[in-house]
Chains A and B, each alone.
Chain A
Amino acid sequence: MWHLVVLPIILPMLTALLIILPPIHRRPSRRRWVSMISAGIQFIIAVVLLLQVQQHGLLHYAVGNWQAPFGIVLVADTLSVVMVCLTSFLALGAIIYGSAGEDEKGSFFHPLFQFQVMGINGAFLTGDLFNMFVFFEVLLIASYALLVHGGGKNKTKAALHYVVLNLTGSAVFLIALAVLYGTLGTLNMADMIGKVANIAPEDVMLVKAGGLMLMIVFALKAAILPLQFWLPAAYSSASPAVAALFAVMTKIGVYGLLRVYSTIFGEHAGPLAGIASVWLLPVGLITIVIGAIGVISSKDFRKIVAHLVLISVGTLVTLVSLQTPASASAVVFYTVHSTVVCAALFLIADLVANQRGKAGDRLVPGRRIAQPALLGTMFFIAVLSVTGIPPFSGFIGKLMVLQAVVEPMNKLLIWGVVLSCTLLVIIGLSRAGTTLFWRVSGTESDAEHVKPLQTVAVGWLLLASILLVVFAGPLTQLSQNAASELYDINSLTERVLGSPSFDMTPETLNLIPNITSNISTNTAIGGQ
Chain B
Amino acid sequence: METLFASCIGFLTSCGVFLMLRGRTFPVMMGLTMLSYAVNLFIFSSGRLTLRGAAVLGNSDNYADPLPQALVLTAIVIGFAMTAFLVILAIRARADLGNDHVDGKLPETGKGQR
Contacts and interface: CB of A to CB of B under 8 A. Distances in A.
A207 B65 CA distance: 19
B32 A160 contact: no
Contacts, number: 100
The main secondary structure of chain A at its interface with chain B is: helix
B50 to A, nearest CB: 8
B35 A153 contact: no
Interface in A153-188: 153, 156-157, 159-161, 163-164, 167-168, 170-171, 174-175, 177-179, 181-182
B48 A144 contact: no
B46 A141 contact: no
Contacts of B104: 153, 156-157, 160
B43 A177 contact: yes
Contacts of B50: 522
B75 interface: yes
A501 interface: no
B86 interface: yes
Given A156-B96, A518-B63, A174 B82 contact: no
A174 B77 CA distance: 13
B81 A141 contact: yes
A371 B36 CA distance: 52
Contacts of B81: 141
A130 interface: yes
Given A178-B43, A526-B48, A160 B71 contact: no
B72 to A, nearest CB: 9
B97 A519 contact: no
Contact of B93 (A156, A181, A515): A156
A511 interface: yes
In this complex, the interface size class of chain A, counting residues with CB under 8 Å from chain B, is 35 or more
A348 interface: no
Contacts of B57: 511, 514-515
Contact of B35 (A144, A156, A163, A168): A168
Given A156-B92, A160-B102, A177-B71, A167 B46 contact: no
Contact of B90 (A141, A160, A175, A182): A160
A409 interface: no
Contact of B89 (A130, A148, A519, A526): A148
Contacts of B96: 151-153, 156
Interface in A485-528: 511, 514-515, 518-519, 522, 525-526
Nearest to A164: B28
B65 A522 contact: yes
A134 interface: yes
Given A181-B67, A518-B63, A522-B65, A137 B78 contact: yes
A147 to B, nearest CB: 10
Contacts of B14: none
A478 B50 CA distance: 49
A23 B45 CA distance: 48
B45 A160 contact: no
Nearest to A172: B39
A24 B89 CA distance: 28
Nearest to A155: B96
Contacts of B97: 153, 156-157
Given A157-B104, A175-B42, A181-B68, A522 B85 contact: no
Nearest to B95: A156
Contact of A171 (B39, B46, B68): B39
Given A134-B78, A171-B36, A178-B68, A156 B89 contact: yes
Given A156-B96, A518-B63, A163 B85 contact: yes
A145 B93 CA distance: 14
Contacts of A152: 96
A157 B20 CA distance: 17
A144 B32 contact: no
A182 B48 CA distance: 8
A164 B86 contact: yes
A252 to B, nearest CB: 17
9 contacts: A130-B71, A153-B97, A157-B97, A163-B82, A163-B86, A171-B39, A178-B42, A178-B68, A522-B65
The 3 closest A-B pairs by CB, nearest first: A182-B46, A178-B46, A157-B104
Interface of B: 20, 25, 28, 32, 35-36, 39-40, 42-43, 45-48, 50, 57, 63, 65, 67-68, 71, 74-75, 78, 81-82, 85-86, 89-90, 92-93, 96-97, 102-104
